Amino acid sequence: MNTLVRAFLTGTLNENSRFKPGDLRWKIILSVLLMYGLNSCSHVDIKINESNIMETEKKNMGSLIALYPKPLTIIGAEVDGKVNWLTVGHTGIIGHDRILVSMSKNHYTNQGIRRSNRLSVNLVSREILQKADYVGGVSGASIDKSDVFGYHWGEHGTPVIDASPLTMECNVEDIYETEGFDNFVCSVVNTYAAPEVLDDNGNLDYTRLKPVLFEFPTYSYIATGEIIGKCLNLDKEPVMCVKEPMSADGIVRLSKIEVFPQHRDEYLKYAAEVGEISLRTEPGVLTMYAVSEKDNPCKITILETYANSEAYEKHIASEHFKKYKQGTLHMVKSLVLSDQTPLNPANQINNFIQ
Ligand SMILES: Cc1cc2nc3c(=O)[nH]c(=O)nc-3n(C[C@H](O)[C@H](O)[C@H](O)COP(=O)(O)O)c2cc1C
């Protein structure tokens, strides 16, 4: 039997011994292969390194859907001859040509979507967040939400919110039902983008769009942050490090520098280099924002903030700072370091380099 199997696998059967469909030997070999396959499947040996499991400091939180934050959306649809809106955080992308909108079967809007097979997905900006929050808290079954947003009908016959930075008009291709939920599988028919969220080439720029994100476990809205790197380019481009929070011994300082006019251009190169390296690589350097006076470009002011005094000590001991300091000594006419007290500590600055 083994010889037959080996011959089958390696293709070394001669013309006479080749099998025809229905040949008993065929069936035997296939059964053997099937049994072998089943056996190997049921006996997969998963070797778990017990000591490795015990040593991890991560907490196993069990079966938890933790795929947050997600862009917040307002879904629009016509229900009983009127427009209705509801807030949905549970959306997804399927492959490259479908999106998913997951909605509880109890919602009023579902009836309209099921009838028309159409819905609009409106991204939420900060400007319309309050209204988005409202339509996510009351049901169209008891309250008319049709006039909460100004809108126009899109070419596919769905309501497009005027104030939303981006709206996708969708066709419902399928409904994948799970317990208590209608999960609408949609194709995107039209996408309407406000001019202010497009770049110079007419493409979507999400740093301008700044979609509000939603996080279900604590029911919070989160702002999108800065670009920290270009995808598939991180080995070429330095990214921003994660910053430490400002602590009680943090430093807020205005460094006022005057440089000799003949050295200004060279000084700016040094200053730009040290500023960028410090900001990108030092977790305790929170801002390094340099400006020069319009009327006297030789007068430069840098807003420097450090998370704590240790961060400041590290900064002045760094190679990039020493290079700047030594390289520019002869260029600087005067230097005043003026420490400041923030009037409202809750007012935070986020300084980053794109
Ligand atoms: C921030 C936020 C996110 C929400 N996400 C979803 C969601 O993903 N799926 C869902 O079925 N309901 C979600 N809801 C609840 C509905 O928006 C809410 O129940 C709405 O009132 C239903 O409206 P309707 O009955 O008029 O259709 C969310 C509500 C809020 C405030």
Model confidence pLDDT, tens digit, residues 118-129: 999 999 999 999
Ligand 1 and 104: CB distance under 6 A: yes
pLDDT at residue 85, as a whole number: 98
> Quick one: 84 and 214 in the same domain?
yes
Report the candidate in 174, 168, 160, 72 with the shortest Cα–Cα distance to residue 113: 174
> Quick one: 91 and 197 in the same domain?
yes
Q: Whose CA is nearest to atom 15 of ligand 1?
A: 136
Q: With the C-alpha atoms ordered 32, 37, 42, 46, is the resulting torsion angle positive or negative?
A: positive
| 138 CA to centre of ligand 1 in angstroms | 9
Ligand 1 and 214: CB distance under 6 A: yes
Indicate which CATH number applies to the domain containing 296.
3.30.70.100
**What is the value of pTM for the model shown?**
0.72
**From the CA atom positions of the chain, what is the Rg in Å?**
31
The alpha carbon of 247 is separated from its chain's Cα centroid by a whole number of angstroms, namely 28
> Quick one: 12 and 128 in the same domain?
no
> Quick one: 76 and 211 in the same domain?
yes
User: Has residue 300 been placed in a domain?
Assistant: yes
Report the number of distinct structural domains present in the chain. 3
pLDDT grade for 76, boundaries at 50, 70 and 90: very high
Indicate which CATH number applies to the domain containing 110.
2.30.110.10
Which residue's entry shows tokens 């003026």?
A: 338
Select from 67, 68, 106, 107 the residue to mutate for testing ligand 1; criterion: most ligand atoms less than 8 Å from CB: 107
> Quick one: 211 and 87 in the same domain?
yes
Q: Is the pLDDT of residue 220 over 70?
A: yes
Point out the ligand 1 atom lying closest to the alpha carbon of residue 219. Answer: 1
Pairing relation of β-strands 285-292 and 220-222?
unpaired
> Quick one: 213 and 83 in the same domain?
yes
User: Has residue 242 been placed in a domain?
Assistant: no
| 11 CA to centre of ligand 1 in angstroms | 61
Contact yes or no for 274/319 (Cβ under 8 A): no
pLDDT at residue 58, as a whole number: 87
Point out the ligand 1 atom lying closest to the alpha carbon of residue 214. Answer: 1
Average pLDDT, the chain: 87
Q: Which of 175, 207, 222 is the last residue of a domain?
A: 222
> Quick one: 76 and 114 in the same domain?
yes
Point out the ligand 1 atom lying closest to the alpha carbon of residue 136. Answer: 17
pLDDT mean over 65-92 = 97
Ligand 1 and 268: CB distance under 6 A: no
pLDDT grade for 140, boundaries at 50, 70 and 90: very high
Question: What proportion of the chain, given as a percentage, has pLDDT over 90?
Answer: 73
User: Has residue 346 been placed in a domain?
Assistant: no
User: Has residue 230 been placed in a domain?
Assistant: no
What three-state secondary structure class fits 235?
coil
Point out the ligand 1 atom lying closest to the alpha carbon of residue 90. Answer: 8
Q: Whose CA is nearest to atom 20 of ligand 1?
A: 136
pLDDT at residue 111, as a whole number: 97
User: Has residue 306 been placed in a domain?
Assistant: yes
> Quick one: 214 and 78 in the same domain?
yes
pLDDT at residue 7, as a whole number: 35
pLDDT at residue 49, as a whole number: 61
Domain coverage including residue 266:
251-339
> Quick one: 120 and 213 in the same domain?
yes
User: Has residue 117 been placed in a domain?
Assistant: yes
Ligand 1 and 88: CB distance under 6 A: yes
> Quick one: 179 and 300 in the same domain?
no
Q: What's the token pair of residue 223?
A: 């702002």
pLDDT at residue 265, as a whole number: 97
Encode pLDDT of 2-52 as tens digits.
Answer: 443 343 333 333 334 444 444 555 455 445 444 444 444 444 565 666 666
User: Has residue 49 been placed in a domain?
Assistant: no
| 86 CA to centre of ligand 1 in angstroms | 6
Ligand 1 and 91: CB distance under 6 A: no
Q: With the C-alpha atoms ordered 145, 167, 89, 100, is the resulting torsion angle positive or negative?
A: positive
Report the candidate in 131, 142, 72, 134 with the shortest Cα–Cα distance to residue 107: 142
pLDDT mean over 113-122 = 98
Contact yes or no for 354/229 (Cβ under 8 A): no
Ligand 1 and 141: CB distance under 6 A: yes
Ligand 1 and 103: CB distance under 6 A: yes
Span of 20-24, 279-283, 285-289 with lowest mean pLDDT: 20-24
| 152 CA to centre of ligand 1 in angstroms | 22
pLDDT mean over 132-152 = 98
User: Has residue 297 been placed in a domain?
Assistant: yes
> Quick one: 176 and 139 in the same domain?
yes
Ligand 1 and 267: CB distance under 6 A: no
Encode pLDDT of 319-352 as tens digits.
Answer: 999 999 999 999 999 999 999 999 998 898 889 8
Span of 3-7, 17-21, 141-145, 237-241 with lowest mean pLDDT: 3-7
Ligand 1 and 73: CB distance under 6 A: no
What three-state secondary structure class fits 30?
helix
> Quick one: 86 and 165 in the same domain?
yes
